[in-house]
Structure 1
Amino acid sequence: MWRKLRIIVLLMILVTVLKQTWLDKADLDWNDNFYVVVYPINADGTPEVDRYIKTLTRADFEPIAEYFSDEAKRFGLNMRRPMEVQLGARVERRPPVPPEVASALKTIIWSLKFRYYAWKNSPKVAVTPKIRMYLLYYDPAIHNRLGHSTALSKGRVGYVNLFGSQAYHKKNAVILSHEMLHTLGATDKYDLSTTLPVYPDGYAEPEKSPRYPQDFAELMGGRIPVSDTQAEIPKNLGQTLIGDKTAFEIGWLKSTLKSTGGK
């Protein structure tokens, strides 16, 4: 009896996963645009971050929507606004922290907890979103560095660590845009041990001659390569491009062999 019940439950889970996978792939046909909601969180509870969050408006995230619109045009996507970003209400409860040592089992457990958290902590917005990003803001006067951000393509949710200061607003937009693409299936294109972009997919202009210095960062490569051993963090989205491999992963290119992109 219990064995049959377990089998039925597992089959139901499998069907749900397969259905979600199919729906995720269908979304990447880009017949409709993606509505994204960003939920600000005061991660360290400081009054400074509180004040910063209170200043945020939807207009602060408009450059991200415009960036994706411009990049989509380079790849011939016939859609005026592939991404729309909505500012949701502030969320008080913090999401579960990703595991520091990410074994397969720990990652699976955390992802399930995170998706459950997102289900319970998603204040309504004007248009039901397909992507939910939780922005954990920290006071730069207290934190010199932030932990690694992460996002899931299954469930399309993101855990994004940012500095809660106007001085970091443009850099925050780069990090958020990077994580948004993770929810669409884009992969990192940098060496995790060195943070250097991996050639050629992590380079915005891999065919440039001479190769260095590059003028832009590939968004999923994360940095602007200036030599074989050095790369700079982009200051804003204007210093980044979406490369062919990333465009292929998110459905903007049917093949990486021939691209309508480039700069």
Structure 2
Amino acid sequence: MIKVVRIFFWVIVVLTALMQLWQEYQTLQWRKPLNVAVYPVNADGTPVVDTYIASLRAQDFEVIVQFFSREALKYQLPLRRPITLYLGPEIHDIPPAPPAVNGRLLDIVLWSLKFRWFSWGHQPAVGVPVDIKLYLLYHDPDRHRRLLHSTALHKGRIGRVNLFAENSQHATNAVIIGHELLHTLSATDKYDLSNSLPLFPQGYAEPYAQPLYPQSMAEVMAGKVPQTPQTARMAKSLHEAVIGRPTAREIGWSK
């Protein structure tokens, strides 16, 4: 009897994994726009962040939708708006934080499971079926000079995004949200983890430009505009960012 139960358990595990792989494959066929829900979170619990979150409107995120539409047109994607973004209600619990960069594989796996469980229990309705969920953790700029790296999972299509609760940061926040959204679609980072500089050529928006430096645009999965071989500046907005061909291949926009 125990053997039968074990076999049944593993059959369920394998079928679940296969179903998830099939769903991920279907998503990247881009036969329909993907619905993205963004849920604000007060990461510091301060009144400043409360006020900022209360001021958010769906149109504040339209620049992200426009970015995806503009880039999809370059790759002749048969969708005018490949993503539709919905602003969901505020979430009052904080998603579990990922382990340290050099954390053990077991810790990473456990965190992934905890995050996916959190997402299952924290997905308020936004009026449509949701394909991707991003939890926007807003931080009080008076308490933080820098924020920890954001992170996202393509399995489960969820993201945990660290942002500043400040109007002047709207444009750079949009770059970070777009970057993490692409992670949920299987895009990989295009920068050197040791120094955050864009990798050549995949992390360059214009890898064949002559002269090569300074670049004028950022590959969104690198997030920075190369100025010299040793320096780069953060993209000021999504108007300075592109989806390069390597990223387009990863998300199913290019062969």
Q: Which TM-score bucket, shorter chain as reference? A: over 0.9
For 2:163, what is the secondary structure of its paired residue?
Answer: strand
Deviations 1:50-78 (A, max 9, x none): 00000001000111001100010011112
CA distance in 2, matches of 1:112, 1:228: 39
Partner of 1:252: 253
TM-score (norm 2): 0.98
Partner of 2:233: 232
CA distance in 1, matches of 2:135, 2:2: 39
CA distance in 2, matches of 1:10, 1:171: 45
Shift of 1:6: 2.7
Superposition pairs of residues 175-194 of structure 1, within 5 angstroms: 175-194=176-195
Partner of 1:209: 210
Partner of 2:48: 48
CA distance in 2, matches of 1:189, 1:214: 15
Counterpart of 1:99, as a letter, is P
Return 78-87 or 98-107, whichever deviates more. Answer: 98-107
Counterpart of 1:180, as a letter, is L
For 1:52, what is the secondary structure of its paired residue?
Answer: helix
Shift of 1:18: 1.3
Aligned residues: 254
CA distance in 2, matches of 1:153, 1:178: 13
For 1:84, what is the secondary structure of its paired residue?
Answer: strand
Partner of 2:93: 93
Partner of 2:119: 118
Shift of 1:221: 1.2
Partner of 1:2: 2
CA distance in 1, matches of 2:148, 2:30: 32
CA distance in 2, matches of 1:44, 1:173: 20
Matched, 1:133 2:134: yes
Shift of 1:107: 1.1
Partner of 2:220: 219
Counterpart of 2:253, as a letter, is W
Shift of 1:3: 4.0
CA distance in 2, matches of 1:10, 1:189: 36
CA distance in 1, matches of 2:219, 2:178: 12
Deviations 1:3-57 (A, max 9, x none): 4323321221121011111111111111001000000000000100000000001
Counterpart of 1:93, as a letter, is D
Partner of 1:12: 12
Partner of 1:242: 243
CA distance in 2, matches of 1:167, 1:28: 34
For 2:134, what is the secondary structure of its paired residue?
Answer: strand
Flag structure 2 segments of 5+ consecutive residues without an equivalent.
none
Return 10-19 or 114-123, whichever deviates more. Answer: 10-19
CA distance in 2, matches of 1:111, 1:224: 31
Matched, 1:38 2:41: no
For 2:236, what is the secondary structure of its paired residue?
Answer: coil
Return 207-216 or 10-19, whichever deviates more. Answer: 10-19
Partner of 1:59: 59
CA distance in 1, matches of 2:68, 2:216: 19
For 1:15, what is the secondary structure of its paired residue?
Answer: helix
Flag structure 1 segments of 5+ consecutive residues without an equivalent.
255-263
Partner of 2:149: 148
CA distance in 1, matches of 2:162, 2:236: 17
For 2:228, what is the secondary structure of its paired residue?
Answer: coil
CA distance in 2, matches of 1:41, 1:24: 27
Shift of 1:102: 2.7
Counterpart of 1:183, as a letter, is T
* Runs of 4+ with deviation above 6 angstroms: none
Counterpart of 2:243, as a letter, is I
For 2:148, what is the secondary structure of its paired residue?
Answer: coil
